[in-house]
Amino acid sequence: MSTHSSQDEAERASADGPSTAASDAGPADGRARILILGGTTESRVLAAKLAERRDCAVTLSLAGRTAEPAPQPVPVRVGGFGGVEGLADYLAAEKIALLVDATHPFATRISVNATAAADRVGVPLVAIRRPAWRAVAGDRWTEVESVEAAVAALGETPRRVFLALGRQEITPFEAAPQHAYVVRSVDPVEPPLAVADATYLTARGPFDEAAEKALLAHHRIDAVVAKNSGGEASYGKIAAARALGIEVIVVRRPPAPPGTVATVEAALEAVDHRLASRSASATAAVARGE
């Protein structure tokens, strides 16, 4: 059985681990080289808008956690950098003029490494994070701090639970095998959960509210577990749960990096500002005969 969910986290860019593949952004020809740590809808939209410009050459970095990531509008490198040091070395070697952290709101380690690496080599950093969801009238939310806390929040009484999480994040639910789980992910869950009752859906969204209502009703779901990813692409399940009176156990998102903007438009303004500053510095250097 198969439907599809937009699990941005399955495609998150990574600043950890070795690179498994890469494609060169090509000669910059004097253009500013921009590296986007991506995997989200925002990263794809931002990359597409920057690809139309002649003053920059963009490379999009993906973690490689998804077997068949969505097509991207710019050259892509796949795999990690090797932590802070590896990312800093890449920024320096590739003469990156601007680093954009457009990773998933829950990709905490990546963002920490990106900030540290950018500081180390003096590369400007722009971070973009979509606004978090907020509970509205009719929502039955239980907010928790982690996936492990979400497992505990389900309680001891057997329930039918929809897990709208990345496939790498569902193992903690093996500690609560009394529940029946419906798991949705972009790629198959391997190995499957060590529980008696689990249904797996492979899916790539976005899904609208009507489709999510049908899914929740079909599987007789009485609890949804989701991270507060924000954005419209995956909000359908939240609205559907509200309409059906279903409890949603919401994992709170971690704090955003310093200087974060909330929209692609704001990120483009920040890029314009950084590139303008770079151009002014280059002009001043030429005037000094450097």
Instruction: Give the separation between CA 82 and CA 89, rounded to whole angstroms.
Output: 10
Cα–Cα distance measured from residue 189 to residue 212, given in angstroms and rounded to the nearest whole number: 21
**3-state secondary structure labels for all residues of 151-200:** HHHCCCCCCEEEEECCHHHCHHHHHCCCCEEEEEECCCCCCCCCCCCEEE
Report d(CA 21, CA 11) in Å as an integer.
Answer: 14
Task: Convert the pLDDT of each residue in 171-226 to its tens digit.
Answer: 999 999 999 999 998 889 999 999 999 999 998 878 999 999 999 999 999 999 99
Task: Answer for the pair 62, 10: CB distance below 8 angstroms, yes or no.
Answer: no
Q: Does residue 202 lie within any of the structural domains?
A: yes
- Name 115's Cβ contacts closer than 8 Å, sequence gap at least 6: 101, 125, 257, 258
Token readout for 262 is 């909330």
In a domain, 20, yes or no: yes
Q: How many CB atoms lie within 10 A of CB 100?
A: 30
Phi, psi of 265 (to 5 degrees): -60, -45
* Burial category of 137 from C-beta neighbours within 10 Å (exposed 0-12, middle 13-18, buried 19 and up): exposed
Let me know whether 101 and 205 are in one domain: no
The reply to whether 122 and 148 lie within a common domain is no
Domain span at 226? 141-251
- The 10s digit of each residue's pLDDT in 165-174 is 988 899 999 9
Same domain, 92 and 43: yes
Cβ atoms within 10 Å of 245's Cβ, excluding its own: 10
Q: Is residue 3 part of a domain?
A: no
Asked if 109 and 18 sit in the same domain, the reply is: yes
Domain count for the chain = 2
Q: Which CATH number is 74's domain given?
A: 3.40.50.20
Q: Rounded to whole angstroms, how far apart are CA atoms 242 and 249? A: 12
* CATH classification of the domain holding 239: 3.40.50
> Does residue 95 share a domain with residue 41?
yes
Give the pLDDT of residue 20: 40
Q: Which residues of the chain have pLDDT under 70?
A: 1-29, 65-69, 278-290
- Express each pLDDT in 140-158 by its tens digit: 999 999 999 999 999 999 9
